[in-house]
Amino acid sequence: ISYELSLGMSVIGIIMLTSSMRLIDIVNAQAPLWFIVLQPIGFICYTISAIAETNRLPFDLAEAETEIVGGYHTEYSSMKFALFFLGEYINMFLVSSLATVFFLGGWQPLFGLTMIPGVIWFLAKVAFFIFTFIWIRGTLPRYRYDQLMRFGWLVLFPLSLFNVMWTAVMVNLWK
């Protein structure tokens, strides 16, 4: 729950900016400026929490592939093994898609390049996030359970709480 709380709170700033929970309204509100510019702290909290939520390597406490040969996947083979990994990559695709919608303008083009369809823009942004997930897995060491809990409660939670309070002040000043 230590990182899931900051994951949810990082999205609250976006909901406050758009006054809507509809994903289409969130993407349309980013037409002049993407929320990664307006919510950099929320983006950082979301990204770190999403990596922890998907149990990728810096935060792979359930699997611990580095300690046990293949983690808990050792007992599975063929279709069961494939379904476990398919589920992990679907989860990565989901949090990457949500990060694209929440912070990178969804299907809106970059620099006004409207000759490329919105679906291609969306998939390119999602592919960038998935590439980042895979790159982080290959470069960062694994954290211990106590380090993750300390980081979640003493760094991510206060940062996401600050982001919500800062956004509330800014939204009230703009009105």
Over residues 153-164, the mean pLDDT reads: 93
pLDDT score recorded for residue 71: 56
In this prediction, what percent of the chain has a pLDDT beyond 90?
A: 49
Q: Provide the 8-state DSSP code for 1.
A: -
pLDDT score recorded for residue 55: 76
Q: Vertex 60, ends 57 and 62: CA angle to 5°?
A: 155
pLDDT score recorded for residue 32: 85
Indicate the range of 34-38, 119-123, 132-136 predicted with least confidence.
132-136
43 vs 64: CA distance, rounded Å: 27
pLDDT score recorded for residue 65: 54
38 vs 35: CA distance, rounded Å: 5
Over residues 44-63, the mean pLDDT reads: 78
| Residue in this structure with the two tokens 């470069």, named with its chain if needed | 139
Indicate the range of 84-88, 132-136, 156-160 predicted with least confidence.
84-88
Amino acid code (one letter) for 25 = D
For residues 147, 148, 153, 158, the Cα torsion angle rounded to the nearest 10 degrees is: 100
The yes-or-no verdict on residue 21 having pLDDT over 70 is: yes
Which DSSP string corresponds to 84-105? HHHHHHHHHHHHHHHHHHHHS-
Amino acid code (one letter) for 21 = M
Q: Where are the beta strands (DSSP E) in 8-132?
A: none
Mean pLDDT value across the chain? 85
